[in-house]
């Protein structure tokens, strides 16, 4: 099946290894997924699971990662980003694919005015005149909810609060009408009331601009209200994928179950103690021979220690990389899922 109009992005066996003193670190291990135009997907996992490295590959930044060896394919709009020359990637990056970073304090250049930051992309990618770019920038700032935008365009990033800076980031990211928006922990640095504002804004604008969004986060709560489909990563691999509602209602992977049950929720009665995922996240340079989650898994059996399970379909649109996926699917192995 080739890339057709229903697929905007297709990753096939993306693998990223880093050479380090401790040995080869398998940051991303044969990651494959597809994204339809306008689709909202959540990529969830803990620090070191490979979610940000995956995002770097999608935006063509792996060339800048030292000691990295990359294989696989990242097809965007029919072109493999991994084999394109830097000059062509530059045309795509910022125009067709844009990115929102976690920390709005460090990701906006402090010596450039909002005007410079905003108009750069418009002039470079869309060939607008400076005057037209300024007008469009003011419009965009208004759309993301910056009050009196015309009066603030000459300001510098430090004159804005964290939430306002993240709005500026979103305005910049959307300025060239991207087909794909990567948001790497877009609300982690923000307060909860501001987080709610930003998530609503991103969801609304992605519909208006018909942009597909990949939200990368460690917080399942952030993607629950926003994304249609969820990808869960652990130790460099996608361990579960599927539409949000059924996935949250009955996860097919013990790691997803652990993530969901180890956080207290406001909509559930209080419990005496929290369920925990035993042990520690794995060392990516010294992964166990079998399933990387086996040492922490309550379902682990003999086969889990010898071979790594592949990501296989469980229900339509859903997949799990677990030997016990059938038990979880039928509900008999749900254990702590409650």
Partner 1 sequence: MSAATANGADPAPASGDVLVRVEDLRVHFPITSGIVFQRKIGAVNAVDGLDFSILRGETLGLVGESGCGKSTTGRAILQLMRPTTGRVLYEGGDLAHLSGKRLRRQRKRMQMIFQDPYASLNGRMTVSDIVGEPLLVHRMGSGKERKAKVRELLQTVGINPNTLNRYPHEFSGGQRQRIGIARALAVEPNFIVCDEPISALDVSIRAQIINLLQKLQREFGLTYLFIAHDLSVVRHISDRVAVMYLGRIVELAENATLYEAPMHPYTQALLSAVPIPDPEAEERRRPVVLVGDVPSPVDPPSGCHFHTRCPAAREGLCDVDDPPLVEVRPGHYAACHLITATDFPHIRAGEDDLAVVAEGGGAT
Determine contact, residues 335/326, Cβ cutoff 8 Å.
Answer: no
- Pattern of binders to partner 1 over 39-68, x per CB under 8 A? -------xx---------------------
Please pick, from the candidates 2, 83, 193, 331, the single residue that binds partner 1 as defined by CB under 8 A.
193
Contact status: 183 vs partner 1 (CB under 8 A):
no
Q: Which of residues 144-163 bind partner 1 (CB under 8 A)?
A: 161-163
**What gap in Å lies between CA 1 and CA 101, rounded to an integer?**
33
By CB under 8 A, residue 103 contacts partner 1: no
Q: Where does this chain touch partner 1 (CB under 8 A) — which range of 14-22, 205-213, 263-271, 312-320?
A: 263-271
- Least distance to partner 1 from the beta carbon of 163, Å? 5
Q: Is the Cα torsion angle 33, 37, 39, 40 positive or negative in sign? A: positive
Tokens of 40: 């909202």
Quick check: 200 and 193 in contact, CB under 8 A? no
Instruction: Give me the least distance between CB of 266 and partner 1, in Å please.
Output: 5
Q: Is 244 helix (H, G, I), strand (E, B) or coil?
A: helix
* From candidates 28, 70, 180, 244, binder to partner 1 by CB under 8 A: 244
Answer yes or no whether residue 248 interacts with partner 1 by CB under 8 A. yes
Query: What's the min distance (Å) between Cβ of 75 and partner 1?
Result: 29
Contacts of 219 (CB under 8 A, 6+ apart): 44, 188
Q: 3-state class of 193 per DSSP?
A: helix
Contact 229, 214 (CB under 8 A): no
Is residue 124 within 8 Å of residue 117, measured between CB atoms?
no
CB 290 within 8 A of CB 301: no
Q: Which stretch binds partner 1 (CB under 8 A): 2-10, 26-34, 133-141, 264-272?
A: 264-272
The 8-class DSSP code of residue 85 comes to: -
Q: What values do phi and psi take at 73, rounded to 5?
A: -130, 140
Q: Whose Cβ is closer to partner 1: residue 103's or residue 275's? A: 275
To partner 1, the closest distance from the beta carbon of 101 in angstroms equals 18
Of 30-38, 277-285, 302-310, 314-322, which part binds partner 1 (CB under 8 A)?
277-285
User: Is 22 an interacting residue with respect to partner 1 (CB under 8 A)?
Assistant: no
Q: How far is CA 156 from CA 114, 127, 239, 336, in A?
A: 6, 24, 42, 50
Q: Point out which span in 14-22, 65-73, 134-142, 266-274 binds partner 1 (CB under 8 A).
A: 266-274
Binding site for partner 1 (CB under 8 A): 46-47, 161-164, 191-197, 199-200, 218-222, 224-225, 244-245, 248-249, 258-260, 262-271, 273-277, 280-281, 296, 338
């Amino acid at each position: 099946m080739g890339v057709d109009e229903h697929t905007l992005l297709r990753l096939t066996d993306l693998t990223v290894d880093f050479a380090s003193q401790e040995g080869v670190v398998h940051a991303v291990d044969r990651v494959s997924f597809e994204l339809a135009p306008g689709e909202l997907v959540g990529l969830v996992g803990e620090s070191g699971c490979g979610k940000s490295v995956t995002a770097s590959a999608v935006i063509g930044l792996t060339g800048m990662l030292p000691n990295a060896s990359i294989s696989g394919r990242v097809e965007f709009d029919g072109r493999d980003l991994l084999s394109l020359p830097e000059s062509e990637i530059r045309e795509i990056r910022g125009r067709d694919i844009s990115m929102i970073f976690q920390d709005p304090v460090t990701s906006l250049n402090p010596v450039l005015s909002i005007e410079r930051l905003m108009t750069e992309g418009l002039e470079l990618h869309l060939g607008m005149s400076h005057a037209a770019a300024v007008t469009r920038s003011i419009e965009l700032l208004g759309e993301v909810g910056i009050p009196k935008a015309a009066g603030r365009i000459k300001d510098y990033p430090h004159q804005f609060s964290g939430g306002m800076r993240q709005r500026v980031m979103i305005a910049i990211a959307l300025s060239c009408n991207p087909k794909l928006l990567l948001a790497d922990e877009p609300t982690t640095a923000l307060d909860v009331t501001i987080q709610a504002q930003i998530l609503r804004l991103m969801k609304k604008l992605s519909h208006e601009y018909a942009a597909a969004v990949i939200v990368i986060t460690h917080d399942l709560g952030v993607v629950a209200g926003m994304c249609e489909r969820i990808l869960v990563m652990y130790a460099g691999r996608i361990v579960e994928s599927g539409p949000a509602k059924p996935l949250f209602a009955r996860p097919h992977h013990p790691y997803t179950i652990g993530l969901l049950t180890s956080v207290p929720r406001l909509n559930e009665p209080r419990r005496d103690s929290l369920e925990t995922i035993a042990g520690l996240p794995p060392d990516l340079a010294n992964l166990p021979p079998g399933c990387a989650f086996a040492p922490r898994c309550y379902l682990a059996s003999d086969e889990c220690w010898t071979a790594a399970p592949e990501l296989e379909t469980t229900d339509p649109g859903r997949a799990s990389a677990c030997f016990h996926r059938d038990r979880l699917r039928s509900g008999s192995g749900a254990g702590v899922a409650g």
